[in-house]
Amino acid sequence: MKKPYKPTRLRYTIISTALLFSFTAFSQSNDVVIDKIIAKVDNYIILKSELERSYLDFLSRGQMRGSNAKCQILQQLVVNKMLMAQSEIDSIYVEESEVNSNLDRRMSIMAQQFGGEEAIENAYGKSLEQIRSEIFDNIKEQLTIQRMQSELTADLKVTPAEVSKFFKNIPRDSLPYFSTEVSVAQIVKDAEPGNEQKEKVRSTLMDLRNQIEAGMSFSILAKQYSQDPGSAAKGGELGFFGRGELAPEYEATALSLNPGELSMPVETQFGFHLIELQEKRGNTYKTRHILITPQPNQQDYQKTELYMDSLRNLIVLDSITFQAAAKEYSDDQQTSSAGGFFQDESGALRVPADQLDPNIFFTIDTMKVGNITQPLRFQKKDGTYAFRILFYKDKVSPHQATLDIDYQKIAAAALSKKKNGRISKWFEKARGNVFIEIDPEYDYCDLTN
């Protein structure tokens, strides 16, 4: 029988920007592992399969094998569970709708990588519902840990003097060497489907509604026609949601129905929905739906291209800056807030050229610094098409890090060190209040010293 104990000391490394218990690790999880509990942190457990999946992810990123690496991963998993335990004490929770939204995005990416939902099921030998269920808790833990870390470090900043001191303390032979970097911004505009395409979708949903009213299974039709990757495999089932958690138009329509009643097609930002209210329970309600998103036709694409050409002319004539236009008009949420600029992990508005999307890289390779492209049609990750214009602002040749050129990167590193110091102090204070037990199989890790 294992004897419970509280460690006198536990070494660890906080990784703020890349949680080891990652989605990539899940995608590597086809290897069979005889599972067992290898660590307990209060009410949280760490399974051997978790450690092995995380280790596989570590190796997939080109890292060296070794027992020490596995120990470091186990250390991080223990710290993650401590953060989860503390999040309960501090009442820090992640809403289920936020987890589902994140999960939907990841499942969409998986569908693109594997070539469709059926290909995902074939690869894992499981239904989409089973796969989603296995990933759900993983994502919820990731988001909770991120929020907990943010709560602990939200007030921290670094001054220019601190950044300068941090840089001066880096040994000269340890300064990073940066490859060619570029400042590139984009404005993206999605082609919006016109009335003709919307009417086709309304007509399709009305036909499905008539079939259901005539006795056809809602679930079967949802699996066949719904374009919602999160619910289609479950027959359109969304489960219970509270007020304000779903699109306003969807919620208003759902709450106007009686249980078992079907709605008319209703439009939201995601497309058109056929909704069935299943149950109301207090301030929550349960629905299922069939979602169909109208697709633009050739005329809609031409209209979008003309719009982007007009916007480019305004920028060229200095009627509006590229950055202001990106913030106001771009449909790409990842870049619009930064004035359309691509950013590196530190938030710097300059990225390694070889890390750009290949289509963007080859486009700017033919441009002069300061130029703006004509509208370019491209395919997005979700398979749809849009138009963008690119602004090639600057290029920096390969160089060793300097404070003048790389201030943002250095400031981000200094802030990260400061945050890790804060979490270290928190850990020193919190560990005495947390029960930690490690399986004797991992005594060689010496996690208690």
pLDDT of residue 304: 96
* Cβ-count burial 171-182 (b if 16+ within 10 Å, e if not): eeeeeeebeebb
Tens of pLDDT along 380-418? 877 789 999 999 999 999 999 999 989 988 999 999 999
Same domain, 380 and 420: no
Same domain, 366 and 419: no
Q: Which residue has the higher pLDDT, 66 or 185?
A: 185
Distance CA 78, CA 448 (A): 12
Of the pLDDT bands very low, low, confident and very high (cuts 50, 70, 90), residue 199 is very high
Confirm if 231 and 237 have CB atoms less than 8 A apart.
Answer: yes
Of the pLDDT bands very low, low, confident and very high (cuts 50, 70, 90), residue 7 is very low
- Short-list 392, 391, 377, 390, CA closest to 190: 377
Tens of pLDDT along 410-431? 999 999 999 988 988 887 777 7
In a domain, 3, yes or no: no
Task: Among 292, 312, 332, give the residue marking a domain's end.
Answer: 292
In a domain, 405, yes or no: no
Confirm if 368 and 392 have CB atoms less than 8 A apart.
Answer: yes
Look up the CATH number of the domain holding residue 95. 1.10.4030.10
Lowest-pLDDT range, 52-66, 119-133, 183-197? Answer: 52-66
Residue 208, pLDDT > 50, answer yes
Residue 281, pLDDT > 50, answer yes
Of the pLDDT bands very low, low, confident and very high (cuts 50, 70, 90), residue 67 is low
Same domain, 53 and 148: yes
Same domain, 186 and 311: yes
pLDDT of residue 33: 46
Number of domains in the chain: 3
* Cβ-count burial 369-398 (b if 16+ within 10 Å, e if not): eeebbebbeeeeeeeeebbbbbbbbeeeee
Distance CA 228, CA 236 (A): 8
Lowest-pLDDT range, 94-103, 108-117, 361-370? Answer: 108-117
- Phi then psi for residue 268, to 5 deg, are -130, -175
Residue 15, pLDDT > 60, answer no
Residue 94, pLDDT > 50, answer yes
Lowest-pLDDT range, 112-121, 160-169, 327-336, 379-388? Answer: 112-121
Highest mean pLDDT among 79-93, 308-322, 407-421: 308-322
Same domain, 187 and 329: yes
- Short-list 223, 294, 299, CA closest to 265: 294
Highest mean pLDDT among 79-88, 221-230, 420-429: 221-230
Same domain, 112 and 39: yes
Distance CA 185, CA 335 (A): 8
Question: Which of left, alpha, beta for 110 (phi over 0: left; psi -120 to 50: alpha)?
Answer: alpha
pLDDT of residue 106: 82
**C-alpha dihedral (153, 181, 59, 78), degrees to nearest 10:** 0
Q: Where are the beta strands (DSSP E) in 319-446?
A: 351-352, 376-379, 385-396, 399-400, 436-438
Same domain, 183 and 321: yes
Confirm if 219 and 236 have CB atoms less than 8 A apart.
Answer: yes
- Phi then psi for residue 378, to 5 deg, are -150, 160
Q: Which residue has the higher pLDDT, 373 or 443?
A: 373
Mean of per-residue pLDDT scores for the chain: 85
In a domain, 231, yes or no: yes
Of the pLDDT bands very low, low, confident and very high (cuts 50, 70, 90), residue 29 is very low
Same domain, 235 and 143: no
pLDDT of residue 278: 96
- The helix, strand and coil proportions of the chain, stated in percent and rounded to the nearest 5, come to 50, 15, 35
Contacts of 375-382 with CB under 8 Å at 24 or more apart are 375/305, 375/308, 375/309, 375/312, 377/301, 377/305, 381/108, 381/109, 381/112, 382/108, 382/112
Distance CA 8, CA 395 (A): 51
In a domain, 16, yes or no: no
pLDDT of residue 18: 32
Tens of pLDDT along 134-154? 888 889 988 998 898 888 899
Same domain, 139 and 106: yes
Residue 45, pLDDT > 80, answer yes
pLDDT of residue 128: 80
CA atoms within 13 A on the CB side of 120: 20
Q: What mean pLDDT comes out for the span 55-65?
A: 72
Same domain, 38 and 116: yes
Task: Among 292, 311, 328, give the residue marking a domain's end.
Answer: 292
In a domain, 408, yes or no: no
Same domain, 234 and 133: no
Residue 260, pLDDT > 90, answer yes
Confirm if 21 and 85 have CB atoms less than 8 A apart.
Answer: no
* Cβ-Cβ contacts under 8 Å for 35 (sequence gap 6 or more): 47, 48, 49
Contacts of 59-62 with CB under 8 Å at 24 or more apart are 60/24, 60/28
pLDDT of residue 399: 92
Q: What mean pLDDT comes out for the span 60-68?
A: 65
Task: Among 254, 275, 292, give the residue marking a domain's end.
Answer: 292
In a domain, 6, yes or no: no
- Phi then psi for residue 383, to 5 deg, are 95, -10
Residue 442, pLDDT > 60, answer yes
Look up the CATH number of the domain holding residue 370. 3.10.50.40
Residue 360: domain span? 177-192+297-400
- Report the 3 state secondary structure along 104-166: HHHHHHHHHHHCCHHHHHHHHCCCHHHHHHHHHHHHHHHHHHHHHHHHHHCCCCCCHHHHHHH
Q: What mean pLDDT comes out for the span 330-334?
A: 91
**pTM more than 0.75:** no
